[in-house]
Structure 1
C-alpha cells in the first residue's frame, strides 16, 4: 500500500472514530458546519476556518469551504493535530506560517483546491511532517526553499498542477534527485518545448537562468575617441583619449567615494589613441596624434611622473587612426594604423640600448588604413588591417616580419575589426558604418560569413568577455547602441539590451575593468561624455 493511500485510510478511520463511539462534545466545542468525534472533525461549507475545537483534536478536514486564504494563526488552538486535509475548497493563497503551531502534524493533504500561490514560508515549523500533498491545484510554480526544514518528509505529491517549467522551477528540478523521499512531481504544462514532460526527467542544463545587464553607473567628463583599461602596480587604471580638450586623462577608483576619479593627464592635442604598456614597474603610453607627431611617454618607476621620452616615426605616422599593442617573439610592439595616403601603417618594436620603440616594418602602403587588430591563428601571430580603399587584409608573422596571407571576402567598406575566441573558434567582428556589420569565423584558410547585423552609423563593433559572458557591442551614431550576447548553442549573437543614454552619443570605443569586486564597462563617446556602466548578473531562478 502506498504511503499517501495509507495516510488517506488512516484519515478515514479517524473520521469514523477510533473507538467507534461518537464523541459528545461540550456545548460550543464542535463548530457549526462540522461533524465531530472524540479526536477528529469534518467541516463542510464553512465560510472561514472553524474555531472552538478542543486542543486535543488529532485530525481535521475542511471540504468545500469558502475560505479565501490561509494565514498565520489559523490553527493555533489545535496544536495536537496529526492530520490536516483540505479538499475542494475555494481558497487560492497560502500565506506565511499558515500552519504555525502544528509541530506534531504528520499528514498534510491540500488537494483539489483552487490554490495558485503558496508562500515560501507557508510550511515553516512543520518539523514532524512526513506526508505532503499539493496535488490537483492551480500551481504554476513553487517558491524556492518551500521544503526547507522539512527533513522528515518521506512522501510528496505534486501531480495535477499546471507547472510552468521555467527558471523559477529550476530549484525543484535540482531538488528532486537529491531528496530522500518518494515524490510524485507531475508534468510541465509549458512552455511548449517542455509541455507534458515529467519534472523528474528534465535536464537542469536546458534551463538558462543566468542573465546579465549593463546598468548606467557614472558619467565622466569630455568626449573621447578611445578608452583603455590596465593594471599598474596592482591597481586598476583607465585612460581616455580626449581630442577636444587635448589630453590623455587617467582615472582610478576612489574607494571612499565609490566612483572613478581623475588621476593625472598627458597633454596631447588632437590625440586619437592613448595605448598603455606595463613592464614591471615601468609604464609606457603611446600617444597617437593627428597633428604634431605621435610620442612615447614613460614612467620609469613608482612615484615618478610620466614624461615624453621619444618621438615616434614622424616621417611615417602623419595621420594615425588606431594603435594596438602586440607581442612578437617575446618583445612588445605597437602597430599604428595610418589613415593618410602619404603615410604608412607602421610596426614599432622595442629595441636599442635606450629601450625605445623604433620602426620594424611598414605595412600596407597607400591604402589609408583605419584599424589594426592583432590576433592569433593556429598558434601564430597575425594582424588584420582594415582600410578605406579595399577589403580587410590578413598578415602572418613569419621570420621576423609580417607577410600578406589573404584578404576577407564579402567584406567591403569595413571600418574596423575586432576578434574573440569561443570553444577553439576564432571569430571576427567587422564594423561597417551603414549596411550590415558582420561576424565571420576562421575556417583554417579564410574567414567565412556567420551572421550579419544591421548597422546605423557604426564605427565600433567590439567583443568583450566579462565574468564569463561573451558580449559584443555594436555602436551607433544615430540610435541606441546594442549589446549582444554570444550563445554557444546556436553559435550566434542574440540581442541582450539597448545601451543608453539617449542618442546621439557616437561611441568610438568600449573597454572593461574589474575593481573592488565589481565590473564596469566604459564607453568613449565622440558626441558626449564617457559613460560608465556596471555589469550586473541576475539569477532568474532566485
Structure 2
C-alpha cells in the first residue's frame, strides 16, 4: 500500500473519529426528565417527587403542578441558569429555604401560587435581581420575614393576595416597604387580630403600629385614619403621588380608557384632568430641580411626557418618547447631569438626558 493511500486512510479515520465524538457530545445533552413534558423552550412537570437536575438547554419556562416534594431546597435550580419564568401551583410543599432560587440571573417571573406555604427563609429570594413579577398568592402565610424583598429593585408587581396575614408589629416593615416601593401591590386584608380582621393592609400607615411597648403589639386607632374611595375609578393598575407647593396629587394608571390626575382637597380626592391610556401600565411622576413631570407609558402608542404648568394648575403635554412596552421610569443623577431610564418589556431599555436649552440665544 502506497504512502498516499496510507495518508488517505489516516484522514478518513480522523474524520470518522471526530464524527463519533460530535455525535457523542450531542447525545449527552439533557433530555426531558421523567414526569415532565417539554417543548422547544418550555417544560411542565406534574406529580414529580423532587426538582429534576437536568432539562434541555433551550428551556426558559418551567412549571411544577401537583408535585410531591415538601420544600424548595436551597440551590435547587443551579442547573437551569437560563430560566426566565418559574411557576409552582397546586403543590404540597410548605416552606422555601434560603437560596432556593440562586443561580437564576435571568429570572423575571416567579409564580408560587395555590400551594401550602407557611414559612419563607429571610433570604429565599436572594440573587433575583432581574425579577419583575412575584406572586405568592393563595398560600398559608401569616407574616413575611423582614426585608425579604431587599435587593429586588426591578420588581414592578407583587401579588400577596389570599394569605392569612396577622396585622401585628411583625408586619410593620411590609407597610413601610409598600409606601416606599415603586412596585404595585394588590389589595391585602388582615386576618387578625380580631379587632382588625378584614381591614385593608394597603390602607395602613407605619404610624398605625404601636411597637415600642413591653406588652403585646397592636394597631393604634385604625378608625381614626381618614379613608375615602375614589368614585368611578375601577380597574386602576397603579397609583403614584406627587406634591406641588405642599398640595397632594395622585396619578392613577389605567390600562385602557383614561388615566387620571386627582387632587386632595382636605377631605377627598377630586379629578382635575384625564389622559388617554392605550395599554398603559405606568404613570410615573418625577421631579428634576424646579420642574415637575409625569410620564404615561403605553404599549400601543407613544409614551407621553407631561410637565406641570403652575398657571394652569395641571399637567400639560410636553414631549413624546418611543419606548416599547414601558414598565418603569427612574431618574439617575451623575456629574450634575440628569438621566431618565425607561425600562422596556419588549425592547431595549432607553436612556434619555434632561437638557436645558436657551431659546433666546
1:166 matches 2:173: no
Equivalent in the alignment of 2:349: none
Cα offset for 1:30? 0.7
Cα offset for 1:211? 2.8
Give CA-to-partner distance per residue, 1:25-69, whole Å, 9 cap, x none: 978611111000111100000011122213442010000001111
1:104-143 alignment runs, 5 A limit:
104-143=106-145
Give distance in 2, aligned partners of 1:39 and 1:186: 34
Greater strand share, 1 or 2?
1
CA contact (8 A) 1:67 1:91 kept: yes
CA contact (8 A) 1:54 1:78 kept: no
Equivalent in the alignment of 2:104: 102
Give CA-to-partner distance per residue, 1:397-454, whole Å, 9 cap, x none: xxxxxxxxxxxxxxxxxxxxxxxxxxxxxxxxxxxxxxxxxxxxxxxxxxxxxxxxxx
Give distance in 2, aligned partners of 1:183 and 1:133: 10
Cα offset for 1:205? 2.2
CA contact (8 A) 1:162 1:188 kept: yes
CA contact (8 A) 2:120 2:145 kept: yes
1:515-534 alignment runs, 5 A limit:
none
Equivalent in the alignment of 2:287: none
Q: State the structure with more CA Rg.
A: 1
Equivalent in the alignment of 2:68: 66
CA contact (8 A) 1:30 1:36 kept: yes
CA contact (8 A) 1:56 1:81 kept: no
Describe the SS at the equivalent of 2:93.
coil
Give distance in 1, aligned partners of 2:193 and 2:75: 37
Give distance in 1, aligned partners of 2:59 and 2:156: 24
1:35-114 alignment runs, 5 A limit:
35-114=37-116
Cα offset for 1:184? 1.0
Cα offset for 1:181? 1.2
Equivalent in the alignment of 2:33: 31
Give distance in 1, aligned partners of 2:126 and 2:144: 14
Give CA-to-partner distance per residue, 1:450-480, whole Å, 9 cap, x none: xxxxxxxxxxxxxxxxxxxxxxxxxxxxxxx
Equivalent in the alignment of 1:203: 205
**Normalised TM-score (structure 2):** 0.51
**Normalised TM-score (structure 1):** 0.34
Describe the SS at the equivalent of 1:171.
helix
Give distance in 2, aligned partners of 1:81 and 1:101: 10
Give distance in 2, aligned partners of 1:90 and 1:81: 23
Rate the CA distance shift 1:27–1:178 in 2: closer, same or farther, 3 A: closer
Equivalent in the alignment of 2:156: 154
Give distance in 1, aligned partners of 2:192 and 2:38: 43
1:11-410 alignment runs, 5 A limit:
29-212=31-214
Unmatched tracts of structure 2, length 5 or more:
1-26, 216-361
Describe the SS at the equivalent of 2:32.
coil
Cα offset for 1:71? 1.5
Describe the SS at the equivalent of 1:169.
helix
CA contact (8 A) 1:54 1:77 kept: no
Aligned-residue CA RMSD (Å): 1.9
Give distance in 1, aligned partners of 2:164 and 2:106: 31
Cα offset for 1:212? 4.5
CA contact (8 A) 2:30 2:56 kept: no
Describe the SS at the equivalent of 1:163.
coil
Cα offset for 1:176? 0.9
Greater helix share, 1 or 2?
2
CA contact (8 A) 2:120 2:144 kept: yes
Equivalent in the alignment of 2:310: none
Q: Which runs of 4+ in 1 moved over 2 A?
A: 25-28, 203-206
CA contact (8 A) 1:55 1:79 kept: no
Structure number with greater CO (CA < 8 Å, separation at least 6) is 1
Give distance in 1, aligned partners of 2:59 and 2:178: 34
CA contact (8 A) 2:71 2:96 kept: yes
Give distance in 1, aligned partners of 2:127 and 2:28: 31
